[in-house]
């Protein structure tokens, strides 16, 4: 006889990954499915192909997915302890990252801001209220070092940089509000380093430290496990280093 699936332990809770169909998102889900993972193997994966599906072009999809997660928590007597947002956009049908101001195009700018900033902002609106009001819980938004204004020495990639800088500001702002609700909660922006995914493929030059998604996922999860509430509202890289805004 097969054993019924174990109930999540309430103190370990549940993890939810958005952007779970992407290279890094899928690797985060796989790592969190292991019983020794942060939430004891309990993870829900949401993306444009999941059921329910989430798409940043459709706010109702986020509202519905958050209601579904909330109902899941209630039925399983558990709580959302880890929210990871691993979605992102750099290149596609609407365009490529710009090398010069001469290449700035409204359609591409709209797309990078929609996926990298507006979508995660709506995730904050619908999912941060699901985090418990007591005890440690973490919301991690995958950003990028190129979104750091202080670190920008090379220029280029106007839209992607600006959209990730907007995401960083959203994370900082949400961290302040979250702390008022639960002083032990964290909201952080994460730089995963260069990871071998469809997003980075056209730009991965030799000499860059390109890591496999499974390696990058383990690194990010171990950094997150070591952060305390004083790290909330910061941009942290895959080695645990705090990056300038
Ligand atoms: N790879 C790198 O070297 C690198 C470096 C620095 C930062 N990052 C950041 O790391 C994160 C993960 O990127 P990745 O490398 O894993 O890229 P990826 O494989 O291209 O995954 C991107 C993800 O974004 C989701 N997405 C795109 N448009 C969306 C929309 N309108 N609504 C909802 N989801 C949408 C995709 O969903 P579908 O699965 O449904 O297509 C996919 O899950 C991103 O934030 C990226 O900016 C990556």
For residues 171 and 143, is the Cβ–Cβ distance under 8 A? yes
For residue 1, the model assigns a pLDDT of: 44
Q: List 46's β-bridge partners, or say none.
A: 18
For residue 5, the model assigns a pLDDT of: 52
| Alpha-carbon gap, residue 94 to 106, rounded angstroms | 9
**Among 126, 95, 137, CA closest to 113:** 95
Question: Which sign does the torsion angle of CA 71, 77, 82, 86 carry?
Answer: negative
Protein residue closest via CA to atom 24 of ligand 1:
87
**Which residue carries 């959209």 as its tokens?**
163
Ligand 1 binding site (Cβ under 6 Å of any ligand atom): 19, 21-25, 47-49, 54-57, 86-89, 115, 119, 142, 144, 192, 194-195, 197-200
For 55, 77, 131, 188, the CA distances from 62, given in Å and listed in that order, are 7, 22, 15, 20
3-class state of residue 112 by DSSP = helix
Pick the CATH number of 14-243 from 3.30.1330.10, 3.30.200.20, 3.40.50.1970, 3.40.50.720: 3.40.50.720
- How do strand 14-18 and strand 43-46 relate by DSSP bridges? parallel
Strands of the sheet containing 235-237, edge to edge, are: 43-46, 14-18, 80-85, 137-142, 185-191, 235-237, 242-243
Give residue 49 CA to ligand 1 midpoint distance, Å. Answer: 13
Under 8 Å CB-to-CB from 202, ≥6 apart: which residues?
Answer: 91
For residue 11, the model assigns a pLDDT of: 60
For residue 7, the model assigns a pLDDT of: 55
Which atom of ligand 1 lies closest to the CA of 213?
A: 16
Give residue 1 CA to ligand 1 midpoint distance, Å. Answer: 40
3-class state of residue 64 by DSSP = helix
- Domain locations along the chain: 14-243
| Alpha-carbon gap, residue 116 to 216, rounded angstroms | 19
For residue 180, the model assigns a pLDDT of: 98
For residue 88, the model assigns a pLDDT of: 98
For residues 17 and 44, is the Cβ–Cβ distance under 8 A? yes
What is the chain's pLDDT, residue by residue, as a tens digit (245 residues)?
455 555 555 568 999 999 999 999 999 999 999 999 999 999 999 999 999 999 999 999 999 999 999 999 999 999 999 999 999 999 999 999 999 999 999 999 999 999 999 999 999 999 999 999 999 999 999 999 999 999 999 999 999 999 999 999 999 999 999 999 999 999 999 999 999 999 999 998 767 789 999 999 999 999 999 999 999 999 999 999 999 99
């Amino acid at each position: 006889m097969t054993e019924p699936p174990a109930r999540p332990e309430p103190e370990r809770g549940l993890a939810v990954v958005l952007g779970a169909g992407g290279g890094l998102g899928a690797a985060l889900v796989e790592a969190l499915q292991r019983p020794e993972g942060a939430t004891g193997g309990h993870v829900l994966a949401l993306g444009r192909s999941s059921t329910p599906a989430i798409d940043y072009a459709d706010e109702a999809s986020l509202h519905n997915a958050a209601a579904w997660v909330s109902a899941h928590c209630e039925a399983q007597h558990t709580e959302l302890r880890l929210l990871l947002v691993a979605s992102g956009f750099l290149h596609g049908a609407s365009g490529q990252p710009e090398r010069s101001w001469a290449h700035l195009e409204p359609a591409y700018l709209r797309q990078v801001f929609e996926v990298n900033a507006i979508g995660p902002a709506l995730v904050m609106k619908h999912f941060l209220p699901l985090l418990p009001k007591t005890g440690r819980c973490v919301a991690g938004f995958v950003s990028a070092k190129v979104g750091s204004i202080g670190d920008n020495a090379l220029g280029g990639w106007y839209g992607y940089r600006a959209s990730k800088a907007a995401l960083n500001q959203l994370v900082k702002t949400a961290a302040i509000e979250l702390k008022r609700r639960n002083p032990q909660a964290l909201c952080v922006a994460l730089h995963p380093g260069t990871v071998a995914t469809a997003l980075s493929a056209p730009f991965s030059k030799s000499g860059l430290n390109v890591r496999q998604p499974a390696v990058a996922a383990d690194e990010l999860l171990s950094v997150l496990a070591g952060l305390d509430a004083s790290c909330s509202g910061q941009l942290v890289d895959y080695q645990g280093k705090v990056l300038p805004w």
